[in-house]
């Protein structure tokens, strides 16, 4: 149904847009969610309304609504953010060692990229907590 691969809108706004584009009511979305749910449960029209109003969706709600609207779960930014959070979850597979190793790898990549950027050209883009090396280069 949606033509974009992903959106950066908050979940409620993205859901509302998909709802409006489809022309479906909250009740129709809930009915379709029940049909798409392998357990046959789905959720109520009221719950869909709450999600559209800004209530934080569960990962399962995101997956189910993605099915309903014919988009990949990755379409929703909250799904992508949840995936990133899971990578850094020390309680997840691989534990703290994996999370710290990923951090070290990303930190190294960020430092390599930062070393190629002349921050004097972009002083307004320095993050609030920029380290001393970045502040020196910006002068």
CATH of the domain at 28: 1.10.260
The reply to whether 137 falls in a domain is: no
Q: pTM of whole model > 0.95?
A: no
> Which contacts of 52-56 are long-range, i.e. CB under 8 A and separated by 24 or more positions?
52/12, 52/15, 52/16, 52/19, 52/26, 53/12, 54/10, 54/11, 54/12, 55/12, 56/11
Query: Hey, what are 15's tokens?
Result: 């859901």
The answer to whether residues 44 and 19 belong to one domain is yes
The answer to whether residues 66 and 29 belong to one domain is yes
Alpha-helix residue ranges (DSSP H) falling in 70-131 = 77-87, 95-114
Number of domains in the chain: 2
Q: Which position has the token pair 């969610």?
A: 33
* Structure confidence at residue 136 (pLDDT): 46
Query: Hey, what are 32's tokens?
Result: 């379709």
The reply to whether 123 falls in a domain is: no
The answer to whether residues 27 and 47 belong to one domain is yes
The answer to whether residues 47 and 96 belong to one domain is no
Q: Which domain holds residue 101?
A: 88-118
Give per-residue pLDDT as tens, 41-99: 999 999 999 999 999 999 899 999 999 999 999 999 999 998 888 877 777 777 888 87
Is residue 30 within 8 Å of residue 42, measured between CB atoms? Answer: yes
The reply to whether 128 falls in a domain is: no
The reply to whether 129 falls in a domain is: no
The answer to whether residues 49 and 97 belong to one domain is no
């Amino acid at each position: 149904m949606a033509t974009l691969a992903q959106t950066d809108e908050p979940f409620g706004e993205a859901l509302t847009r998909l709802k409006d584009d489809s022309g479906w009511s909250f009740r129709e979305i809930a009915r379709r969610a029940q049909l798409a749910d392998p357990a046959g449960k789905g959720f109520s029209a009221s719950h869909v309304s709450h999600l559209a109003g800004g209530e934080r969706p569960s990962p399962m709600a995101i997956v189910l609504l993605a099915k309903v609207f014919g988009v990949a779960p990755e379409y929703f930014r909250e799904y992508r953010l949840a995936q990133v959070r899971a990578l850094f979850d020390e309680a997840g597979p691989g534990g703290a060692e994996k999370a710290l190793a990923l951090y070290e790898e990303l930190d190294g990549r960020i430092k390599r990229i930062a070393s190629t950027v002349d921050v004097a050209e972009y002083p307004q883009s320095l993050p609030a907590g920029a380290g001393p090396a970045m502040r020196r280069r910006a002068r």
